[in-house]
Amino acid sequence: MNSNAPTITCSFCKRKVVANTQYDVPIYDPRSGFSLCANCIKDIYHLIEDHQQDENIRQNEETEQAINDELTRIKPHLVKEYLDQYIINQDHAKKVLSVAIYNHYKRMKYGFKHPEGDEEIEKSNVIILGPSGCGKTALLSHLARMLDIPFAVTDASSLTEAGFVGADVEVAVRNLYYAADKDISRCEHGIIYLDEFDKIARKSGENNTITADPGHEGVQQALLKMLEGNVVEFTARGQRKHPEAPTIKVDTKNILFIVGGAFVGIEKIIAKRIHKNDANIGFGAQVEGKGEKPDFDELIHQTTPEDLMKFGIIPEIIGRLPIICTLENLDEDALLRILTEPKNAPVKQYQKLMEMDNVQLEFDKDALQAVAQKAIERKTGARSLKGIIEDTMLNIMFDIPQSDANRKVTITADCINDGADPLIEEI
């Protein structure tokens, strides 16, 4: 022992410690005399460690509770019930999506309970197909509102291969990161919806005659890496990408991808395949009952990965989208219901607007039918419904506010078909 070693009083435990080495009293300030002995530091360290462990346990319990609560709230039948309030028909798609969401939460719970488990539950990304204006984007945006996990929609048609003018595919993950309020771990369990996915089909697919392909296959290759699970790096919004810019890293392994698009013309590819198979069955004989041309809905529900490949999606991507979800055309009956039934139905919206001018707005039954028929002629599904009503409503919305009187306005079929004036009565 060094007899010249100084004796220091620990400011914490007040013991006198002979400081043979600097480790006996690791913290010592000769000017103020403040010191902490090695024992006290060890105790404090253990205390903090215990506290940290308690805190981790508490946080884990909280996360598990939150997942359990969500699992109860988003049971498939409940998600479908919610979607039913806004989206008419498309029951099959609603079922597929609500099960996909439920399974995503179950995977999350499993992964949370078995962090090191090698028997992980694989995720099942979804591809949605259906004609224009049939509710694909609407379905997903209502789902997003219902869920408590981050959800971001990115238009795939705006994405380009790195180096081309346009947004890199990382934008999809960046959008999710902002939807998750910049919380990386929440973001890593979120859902990305890539809309207009058919727009990045290879141009040399069977549906296209143009041979030039401005980087679409490159976009698909880049997306493939994301779908497979990859650490994606991107810069914060508004920051230019340059070598020194700080980047944010997100692992996409547990992100659920849903992609959707109209895939215009895919029914022809399906019809061709079915026709070929039919011909094979009877050595070219006409199969009974197949003389009639199958309609669009019948065909679209039979989409196979092979058809998507022919359309111009690379096989590796199709392999990563195991669930094919198809939506059908909306017939007149469905369009009539869309006009009046959903919580945000166009008729309800105009009625609310007019109510603010003391007007009771009514649509004759045949007026609604006329709107639906016009929409069918335009071949854009439910998309044109609001526009058709808007054309008729413009004059009335301009004229009505000129008086405060209580009135009733009735829209007739003539208003829709021939631009006749609506009936206005004072009440």
Ligand X SMILES: Nc1ncnc2c1ncn2[C@@H]1O[C@H](COP(=O)(O)OP(=O)(O)OP(=O)(O)O)[C@@H](O)[C@H]1O
Q: Which stretch binds ligand X (CB under 6 A): 130-138, 273-281, 284-292, 297-305?
A: 130-138
Distance between CA atoms of residues 80 and 134, nearest Å: 17
- Which C-beta is closer to ligand X: that of 170 or that of 267? 267
Which of 190, 218, 312, 381 binds ligand X (CB under 6 A)? It is 381
Counting contacts by CB under 5 A, is residue 125 touching Mg ion? no
Counting contacts by CB under 5 A, is residue 90 touching Mg ion? no
How many amino acids of this chain bind Mg ion (CB under 5 A)?
2
- Which C-beta is closer to ligand X: that of 138 or that of 200? 138
- Which C-beta is closer to Mg ion: that of 137 or that of 303? 137
**The residue type at 194:** L
Distance between CA atoms of residues 415 and 189, nearest Å: 50
Distance between CA atoms of residues 152 and 174, nearest Å: 9
Q: To the nearest whole angstrom, how small is the minimum distance from the Cβ of residue 393 to Mg ion?
A: 24
Comparing every residue's Cβ against ligand X, the nearest one is 135
Which of 97, 127, 338, 396 binds ligand X (CB under 6 A)? It is 338
Which of 35, 137, 303, 412 binds Mg ion (CB under 5 A)? It is 137
Counting contacts by CB under 6 A, is residue 207 touching ligand X? no
DSSP labels, 65-129: HHHHHHHHHT-HHHHHHHHHTT--S-HHHHHHHHHHHHHHHHHHHHHHH-TT-SSPPPP--EEEE
- Which C-beta is closer to Mg ion: that of 74 or that of 338? 338
Counting contacts by CB under 5 A, is residue 412 touching Mg ion? no
Q: To the nearest whole angstrom, how small is the minimum distance from the Cβ of residue 194 to ligand X?
A: 12
Q: Which stretch binds ligand X (CB under 6 A): 22-30, 84-92, 234-242, 353-361?
A: 84-92
3-state secondary structure of 193: strand
Both tokens assigned to 374: 């016009």
- Which C-beta is closer to Mg ion: that of 67 or that of 128? 128
Both tokens assigned to 216: 């679409």
347 binds, among Mg ion, ligand X, none (CB under 5 to 8 A by kind): none
Which of 107, 136, 310, 320 binds ligand X (CB under 6 A)? It is 136
190 binds, among ligand X, Mg ion, none (CB under 5 to 8 A by kind): none
Distance between CA atoms of residues 117 and 120, nearest Å: 6
Distance between CA atoms of residues 85 and 81, nearest Å: 7
Q: To the nearest whole angstrom, how small is the minimum distance from the Cβ of residue 347 to ligand X?
A: 12
Q: 230 to 289, contacts with ligand X by CB under 6 A?
A: 262
Distance between CA atoms of residues 386 and 353, nearest Å: 14
Which of 132, 158, 221, 235 binds ligand X (CB under 6 A)? It is 132
CB-CB contact of 130 with 299 (8 Å): no
226 binds, among Mg ion, ligand X, none (CB under 5 to 8 A by kind): none
Q: Which stretch binds ligand X (CB under 6 A): 66-74, 75-83, 134-142, 388-396?
A: 134-142
Which of 10, 79, 83, 89 binds ligand X (CB under 6 A)? It is 89
Helical axes 365-378 vs 385-399, angle rounded to 10°: 130
Counting contacts by CB under 6 A, is residue 94 touching ligand X? no
Counting contacts by CB under 6 A, is residue 203 touching ligand X? no
Both tokens assigned to 139: 């379905």
Distance between CA atoms of residues 36 and 342, nearest Å: 69
- Which C-beta is closer to ligand X: that of 149 or that of 338? 338
CB atoms under 10 Å from CB of 177, counted, come to 25
Counting contacts by CB under 6 A, is residue 135 touching ligand X? yes
Counting contacts by CB under 6 A, is residue 372 touching ligand X? no
**The residue type at 162:** A
Q: To the nearest whole angstrom, how small is the minimum distance from the Cβ of residue 139 to Mg ion?
A: 9
| 255 CB-near residues (< 8 Å, 6+ apart) | 173, 176, 187, 188, 189, 190, 191, 192
Give whole-number Cα distances, 311 to 128, 227, 234, 295, in Å: 14, 19, 31, 19
**The residue type at 7:** T
Contact positions vs Mg ion (CB under 5 A): 136-137
Contact positions vs ligand X (CB under 6 A): 87-90, 130, 132-138, 262, 330, 338, 342, 381-383
